[in-house]
Amino acid sequence: MVAISPPARVLVTGANGYLATWVLKKYLEAGYSVRGTVRSLSKSAFLNDKFAHYGDRFELVVVEDITKDGAFDEAVKGVDAIAHTASPFHYKSTNPDDLIIPAVRGTTSILNSALKHGSTLKRVILTSSVAAVREETTVPRAFNESNWNNSAVEAVKTKGSEVGSVGIYLASKTLAEKAAWEFVATHKSEISWDLVVINPPLVFGASLLFSPSFSFIAEVSSPTYSLPSAQGNWVHVSVASEAHVLATHAVAAGGQRIIVKSGPFFFQDLPELGIPNVPRGEPGSTKGISFIINLETKKAEELLGLTTATPLKDAVAESVEDFKTRGYPGFTA
């Protein structure tokens, strides 16, 4: 596979999403031309305003329902790469099908369009998640790109809606990514493009959106949120979006899953980092406790040359200040 370099044209799906807007920004700054898909032009006019200075290097097209067969047929024509970021992301599902079906069908829909109409296409970059990689554990464990969250899928199969909204989300990300790899394996003799998957954890950092959409920082500031004693991993939105650009022109990235992260954190520490209105839980309860979920990022460093430097407290402060400026409920300027 050859390197896909500017001014090549990239299709970015779900262009008005939190991470996707940053992906757009990074591609345009790097010199690529970008075609973004949105469900409605009227609700995405801010993107044209924000990126107007890039002229004809930026355009928006409407794809109302990403799960429909042929939804992306026109959008994929004439592009050199696809960054498929469009996928449902929330913790509100009680019925597994409500999240899993659109996640899987949205992925297979664009790959089918790429198969049929992507005559100029060289690479697809899929935004997945470490939710598709790591499993729950009570003992220290390292996870890399060879791991799959099969237990989440099995839990949904056996327990259905009883696994809860988070369990449904974990299964949706795992099944959507597996569907992508299975599609490529099935059609390997028919396609002229390859697949790269980016697997980020929770994404922190300022939003480029006209108004905040789903954000973990906003979620935990809700008066109804109960602060868990759990731990997790995070990545700065600038790093996660840059990974997509680097994966576009890094020849060796073809056919790879790539974990990107900035570091681990304890949920219990978030109130001390300046997020307003977060229930304090039990301050100090994580003292002396080690992180048990270690995400290996060797591929991100070796294949993409990706480095991270932003401290968690700075990323959180950036998000909080962003919400204050926008007058987000619960945040005061």
Residue 219 in this model has a pLDDT that exceeds 80? no
Are 254 and 247 in contact by the 8 Å Cβ rule? The answer is no
Task: Identify which of 246, 266, 267 has the alpha carbon closest to the alpha carbon of residue 256.
Answer: 246
Give the residue numbers spanning the domain of 175: 9-204+236-261
User: In the block, which residue shows the tokens 């290996």?
Assistant: 296
Q: pLDDT tens across 109-125, in order? A: 999 999 999 999 999 99
**Does 214 reside within a domain?**
no
pLDDT of residue 236: 93
| Assigned domain for 3 exists | no
Token duo for residue 221: 């500031």
* H-state helical runs in the chain: 18-29, 45-50, 96-117, 150-159, 164-186, 216-220, 237-249, 298-304, 312-326
Average pLDDT, the chain: 88
SS3 content of the chain, % helix, strand, coil (to 5): 40, 15, 40
Q: Average pLDDT for residues 286-311, to the nearest whole number?
A: 89
Residue with more model confidence, 210 or 114:
114
In the chain the first and final C-alpha atoms are separated, in Å, by 50
Question: Average pLDDT, stretch 278-283?
Answer: 68
Residue 177 lies in a domain: yes
Give strand pairing partners of 264: 233
Q: What pTM was estimated for this model as a whole?
A: 0.92
State both tokens at 52.
């107007």
Residue 307 lies in a domain: no
Enter the DSSP assignment of 193: -
Mean pLDDT along residues 305-310: 83
Q: Is residue 275 part of a domain?
A: no
- pLDDT at position 176, please? 97
Residue 90's pLDDT is 54
Count of structural domains within the chain: 1
**Residue corresponding to tokens 């991270």:** 308
Would 198 be classed as within a structural domain? yes
214 band by pLDDT with thresholds 50, 70 and 90: very low
- Is residue 324 in some structural domain? no
Q: What percent of the chain stands above pLDDT 70?
A: 88
* Interval 77-103 mean pLDDT: 84
- Answer whether 128's CB lies under 8 Å from 198's CB: yes
For the four alpha carbons of 70, 2, 130 and 39, in that order, the dihedral sign comes to negative
Query: Does 268 score more than 50 pLDDT?
Result: yes
Query: Which CATH number is 62's domain given?
Result: 3.40.50.720
Residue 332 domain-assigned (yes or no): no
Q: List residues bridging with 263 in a β-sheet.
A: 234
Tokens of 211: 């108004």
